[in-house]
Amino acid sequence: MRCPYCGGETDANRPFCRHCGKRIDSIQVEPVPTGQTGGERSPYGQGRGNSPTPYPGHGRESRSRGDILMIVIGVILALAAVGIAAFILTHMIGDGTAVRRKESTVTAESKKTESKKTESRTAANGGAESQEAGTEAVAPSGDVTAEPTAAPTETPLPALSASYSCGSMPGEIASLFKIMITGGEASSELHQKEGIYDNSPQMVYDGDPVTSWQHGTEGNGTGQQLRFTFNTASVRAICFKLGNWRTPDLYRQNSRPSRMRLTLGGETVDVSFTDNMQNHYIVFNRPVPAADILITIAAAYDGTDYNDCCISEMELYAE
């Protein structure tokens, strides 16, 4: 007989199929008819003279298992898609919430700032109104008039003056620093025939007392002018070496200034000098901001042999 489940040949007196193991003793199975032609097929799908074919039930079971597997795979894919969609949606909602929260915070801060500005303006206006109201309330009546408040004025500087000394350096100069002179010019200068001496105004600030400026016109030097420039500084003192300091004899033989007018920072002061071969110091009563100094020789001591007016050195000091 053939098993009605798998279609395999098995013994009729066996309770179970020897191929698929299913119980077959309770099923009535008709015997295979004999004498069928080659073209006829038995009820179990196998004809005489043809190759055996599987029992129809066996194919249906295989297809059922395949369908179940496809369903399981489909369910898994659907669940994965749902999870991905939920993940993306959650992040989108979270980002939107964060943006709305940030916008709300910015809006609240803007409102708070605007509120503070409004309060400040209100307070300022209220204070001004209160001040006006108070002013009106205490406004004097009758013949009493309020005096205008005088604007503060700057204290004028004292007039420029200078103290003069000869010989030792005054103590006021010890704490000052020397100004570097950057240029000089004169109304005239002496050009000696031998050409071995330089008597230009640069000799006044070369640091060498042996050299000197000497004027080059007629007379003893009265009216001659020299101008020296430097970086802007608050000038407080000046030291002069007047006359020709090359030798004591040349000092006496040449002319030298006895009185000078000093102009610096738009201010002028007159100074007189004694006639001796020593340092002459001038200390101003206050600092004088300036970038140049103009020296005008107002008078001179005559030399015994020459009328050439000489100045050997000049040093400027500032605070």
pLDDT the model gives residue 219:
94
pLDDT the model gives residue 20:
85
Contact 289, 234 (CB under 8 A): yes
| Residue-wise pLDDT tens digits, 8-43 | 888 777 888 878 888 877 765 455 444 444 444 444
pLDDT the model gives residue 67:
77
| Residue-wise pLDDT tens digits, 260-307 | 999 999 999 999 999 999 999 999 999 999 999 999 999 999 999 999
pLDDT the model gives residue 200:
96
pLDDT the model gives residue 121:
67
pLDDT the model gives residue 89:
77
Residues 210 and 219: their CA atoms lie apart, in Å, by 23
pLDDT the model gives residue 48:
41
pLDDT the model gives residue 96:
59
pLDDT the model gives residue 87:
83
Residues 111 and 97: their CA atoms lie apart, in Å, by 21
Query: Can you list the residues of the chain whose pLDDT is less than 50?
Result: 29, 32-60, 128-130, 132-139
